[in-house]
Amino acid sequence: MRTLITLNAILFIVLCETPNSCLFAQKNKDFTEEQWIEDLHFAAKILIDNHPNLYYRITQAEFQRNIAIAEEKIRHSNSDEESFTAIRQAFASIWDGHTRLGTNTLGDYNNIFPVRFYDFSDGVFVTGITGKYAKYLGAKVVNIGRFSAQEALKMAGTLAFADNEFGRKCQAPVLTITCNYAFGLGITQSVDSLLLVVETTNGKFETICLSREIPSGQNTMISTMDIAPSGIPFTSAFTGTGKEQPLYIKHLDGSHNYWFEHDKKNKILYMQFNQVVDQSDESFEQFYRNMFKYFDEHAASIDKFVVDVRFNGGGNGRMLLPFINEIIKRDKINSPGSLYILTGRRSFSAAVLFIAEMINHTNVLLVGEPTGAAQSMFSDIELKGTLPNCGATLLLSTAYFNIAWPANKKYFIAPHFPAHFSSTDFFLGRDPALEAIKANKIRPLESVFYEEGPKAAMDHFHKINMDWGLHSEELSIMPYQSPVTKYNLGEGYLNNLGYELLSNNKVVDAQAAFELNTLLFPESFNVWDSLAECFMKQGDNQSAIKYYNKSLELNPGNANAKDKLIELKKKN
C-alpha cells in the first residue's frame, strides 16, 4: 500500500508540473456524427454480406451489440480519432486476424510516439526509445498516459485485428504508441504528446513527455521486439549499440525472411523463419535445399533441428509442404527429442499452418508461448470496399482453413514447454526457449504419462497449460498427441487404464487418469461419466453427482448417469 500511495503522490506532482503541451485535450472533427455512423453501418453491412462465417467466434447478438456500442461512442465523441477508434473496435471484435480496416490512405495513423514497449512475464518495459531519453532504456513502464501500463495495453488490444488474446498481446504495444489510437482511446489527451511514468533501473519513478514522430516508411514494428520504424533514430537494447545480439534478434530488421546457423558446440542447426515469402536474392526453395544439403553433409555434428517462427507473421502457405516433406524424410531430424519449433504471440497465419502441419505429420515439440492464431482460421483477404467518408479500406477474409485433428475451434496452439521472455532474459541476451532445448528440458505429456504415471502427467498438463490462463476449454488434444507420435493417449486407452487402476485399488492414479481424460476430451460425455463413477466408489457423492450431471449435459440420453443420480440422491 505504501508504494501505491507514493506513486500516486508522484503522479499528482508530475501532472501538476507537466507542460501544457502534454496535457492539452484536443477536440477536432472533420466529419459529422452522421457521417461516422454511416461509415460504421457501411462496414457492418460489408462484414455481414461478405465474411465467410462472421459468427464463427462471436454470436450474431454479440456482433449487433458491438455495433450499437460503437454507435453510442460515436454519438458522444469529441474527435474523429475517437469515432474511427470506435469503428475499429467493432471491426476487431469478430476475432479474425486477417479481416481488417486498412489505414494506408489515412496518413496520420502511421504517426507514433518514439518508444517501444514489450509485455514481458514480469511486466512492461522500455526496449527502445528516442535518443533524447536513452537513459530510460530498460525502465519498467508504470503508466502510459492516463492509465496503468497494463490497463493501457488492454485497451489498445481491443483495436487489434487478431484471432486470440496472444495476437492482441503482440499488437497492443504498437497500437498504444500509435498517436491517433492513443488519443482515440483516451490514453493520451493529445495526438501530439504522450506522458509516461517509468520506474528506472535504480528504483526511481520519473516522467517522460514524448512528442509525435512521423516515420519515413510504414510502421512495421509488430514483427520485432526493439527495432524502430524507418526514419526515427532509436536507442535499443541491442540494435546499434555494439553489443553482441542474441541469435534470435540477429536478422529481425526485415533483411532476412529465413536463415540458418550451426551451433556446433550444442549440435543444433537453428533456422529462423520470419516470413513465408521468397527473398529477392534466394527463393525459399533454394534456401531450404541448400540448408538440408548442409545438414546431410554435417549430420554427425547435428543432434537437434530448431525452427524459430516466433516472429513469423505468415505469407504464402502453399510454399510450406515441400519444405515439411524434406523434414519428414530425414529420420535423424524427425525423431522425438530432435525436432523443435519455437512459437510465440507473433506466430500467425501461414506460420501457424506450418506449426499445425508439423504437429500432424512429424515428431515435433513446441517451445515458447502460444501462437497468435489457431489451427482454424480465416484467410485469403480481398478488398471489399472503402468507407464512404473517412476512406479506410475494408479488407476481408474470403476462405476458411481448419487443419486441426480432429476439427475444432481452438483459439491457439499451446507449446509443450512454456518459455516466457522475462525482462531480465531480454536485456541480458538470454533466450529461455533455446536454453531449455539445450538443457533437454522439453518433454511431451505422453512421455511423462508413460514414464511416471497419470498423476505426474496431470501435474505436467497443468504446468504447461494453466500458465496461460485463457480459454481453458480449448486445452484439448492438440498438440499433446499426434497421429505419428510413438505415444498415443486416446480416450479409450485412458478410460480403460483408469478402470484397471481402480480395480487394483490405485485410486489416486485412477482418478488422475480419468481427470486427464476429461481435460483431453472435454466434449465426451463418457469421460465425465467415468470420472463420476471413480468419485462414487470413493464415497465422494457430491463430486459424483456433479460429474454425472456434466455427462448428462453433454448427452441427455445417458441412461447410466440417470440411474446413478437416482441412486446417489437416495443415499443423500
pLDDT value of position 464: 66
User: Could you report the per-residue pLDDT of 343-366, keeping only the tens digit for each?
Assistant: 999 999 999 999 989 988 998 999
CATH H-level superfamily of 1-241+380-396: PDZ domain (2.30.42.10)
Residue with cell 526514419: 231
In whole angstroms, what is the distance from residue 470 CA to residue 515 CA? 19
Residue with cell 479474425: 96
pLDDT value of position 448: 79
CA distances from 74 to 33, 35, 100, 156 (A): 7, 10, 19, 18
pLDDT value of position 410: 66
**In the chain, where are the structural domains located?**
1-241+380-396, 247-375+410-442, 444-572
Contact between 432 and 423 under an 8 Å Cβ cutoff? The reply is no
Opening angle at CA 171, ends 231 and 45, nearest 5:
110
Nearest to 478 by CA among 523, 413, 403, 417: 413
Per CATH, the number for 247-375+410-442 is 3.90.226.10
- The kind and range of the H/E element at 307 are strand 304-308
3-state class (DSSP) for residue 76:
coil
Contact between 125 and 173 under an 8 Å Cβ cutoff? The reply is no
Identical fold, 1-241+380-396 and 247-375+410-442: no
Of 2.30.110.10, 3.20.20.120, 1.25.40.10, 1.20.140.150, the CATH number of 444-572 is 1.25.40.10
pLDDT value of position 459: 80
- Amino acid, res. 204: K
- The kind and range of the H/E element at 211 are strand 205-211
Q: Report the chain (572 residues): mean pLDDT per 10 consecutive residues.
A: 38 41 55 96 97 95 98 96 97 96 83 93 93 93 97 97 93 94 96 96 94 76 73 80 84 89 97 95 97 97 97 94 97 92 95 92 90 89 95 95 66 82 93 94 77 82 61 37 43 86 88 85 89 92 94 94 89 72
3-state class (DSSP) for residue 324:
helix
Q: Helices 165-176 and 149-157, interaxial angle, to 10°?
A: 110
Alpha helices in 255-368 (DSSP H): 284-297, 320-328, 350-361
Contact between 304 and 341 under an 8 Å Cβ cutoff? The reply is no
